[in-house]
Structure 1
Amino acid sequence: MTGLRYVYAVCRPFGAALQSQLTGVAGAPPKLMSHHGLIAVVSEVPERDFAEGPLKAHLEDLDWLTATARAHQGVIDALTAVTTPLPLRLGTVFRDDSGVRVMMEEGEDAFRRTLDRLEGRVEWGVKVYLDTEAAEAAATERPPEKAASGRDYLRQRRMRNRSHEDMWQKAETFARRLHESLSEGAEDFRLHAPQNPTLSGSAGRNVLNAAYLVPRGKSEEFVEAVDRTKDDAPGLRVELTGPWAAYSFTEEAQGAEQAAQREAEGPEGPGRAEEEDA
């Protein structure tokens, strides 16, 4: 390899082969770098796009960012099919093989602990959205009254506000009960902040945005548990995504990776080569 090293994930050695035609970021095929009994999944990327300055500029380009994220996720998905990967952040880049090995050595203990905890497990995402228009239509079949006076207008407005509050409370109660039920079938969970509809592009207000760590062998039961709830409340939409690599449950390893990357960085850009090669 002569370019920079883009690192997708760290995992344990695995016997199955990756897809023969699999390509990653910048169209390069991923390769496996073994070090101290761990594997870093890397590919070569051009310095003109992935050195520190150009990379920061590219991350402001939505089209470039979308294409890169899809390529990154494609490699993670391929790994998830054959092993339990510990996915690293989008845009984790080092100067050369030595920089990658420094990262693996610095984060080795955290990587091993996290891989032990995630072995044989996947992440499922569950979101609940409140569709206020559908909820209002389900709540009443009568068309809104035409206000005969200012007093009538204020009365109708108070009723609409009260109706919205009731719908929101019901949505929160539904989401809380769903989360409690799903948590019983999961080994761990993360409650994320509600998504901004303007940024996510999803219709409705996000009431629940959660990730669940589930053993592969129990995934079918988990999916069935979500499906059973989808018709339980009018005006609510339950969205299930996965199975994914366990992105939401890698905090310790992500912190170790970032610290190691800062340690390996120098004035030449991301992950400069170290003199000592383990």
Structure 2
Amino acid sequence: MPKLEFIKSASEDKKHAEDVEAVRAHGGKLYTGDDEGKVKVWDYDLNLLHEFKAHNYAVTDILVVGNNIFTACADCTFSIWDANTFKLKRGIEGHEESIRKIKTDGKNVFAGDDKGEVRVYSLDGDFEKMYSMVEEVWGLHVEGNRLYTIRDRGLTITEAKGESNKFTVISSTSEGRAPIYVTSDTLAYLDRTGMMVLIHDNTPSSHQLKGQLKGHDRIVTALSGVGNLMVSGGWDNKVKLWDVTSFQELGSSDIPGCVNGLAVTEDKLVFAGGVGGYVCKLKIS
């Protein structure tokens, strides 16, 4: 049976000076962004490789596509950086509220904000279209022409039609709270209390509730995973490992503080960052 093992934390002299808000693992490197707009780049052993000032306000999300690093900011902008030189390629404006999440389908970049807009860009940062989702976008997932958006009042799944504000609502729930974790057959998000993870079927015709995961005693703030293994973290300073098919808790580990971001690699390394600027590494074994 898989288990969760704490490996190490970044050293005190290398960790962030402010709270970590974004954690992204890609291509053998870990990218973390904090409340003062700084991004740090690590190897998977948490050796610091590089750091740069990306924004003057909090980095809310990070995305890596090819040779580009995308950083979203609370100041309503996002920027594109060269992944090799870390030089700024382009700054993107147009959002009227803080950008919360940025995702890609491999062809475009989708940016969801606090106004409830999901704006779609080319991989070079050119604006293409926009979808008004009514409520703030605290969680975002893109799958084909389907957009999954969530705040704290319910999950909405829409089918985009290819033009601005042309879409059909496929499913809408009265209960649902960010964060969100989606695989080909699993849709996971929180109940209204923020402490129970609801596991739904991700079949377009159903999205039926399959099970519930209760293990945290404070609000859950981050979900990530690989396949049917999901990790969760929150205000209780713990990261928990779950099997989303059997609905079992497989392991739990104490970490240095509240979790704001989680990332899991294909080889089952788990990275967490959060309050106090810590960055730590765990492993599913």
Same-fold call, TM cutoff 0.5: no
Bigger RCO of structures 1 and 2 (CA < 8 A, at least 6 apart):
1
**1 or 2, which has the higher strand percentage?**
2
Normalising by the residue count of structure 2, what TM-score does the alignment of the two structures yield?
Answer: 0.25
**1 or 2, which has the higher helix percentage?**
1
Normalising by the residue count of structure 1, what TM-score does the alignment of the two structures yield?
Answer: 0.26
Q: Which of the two has higher C-alpha Rg? A: 1
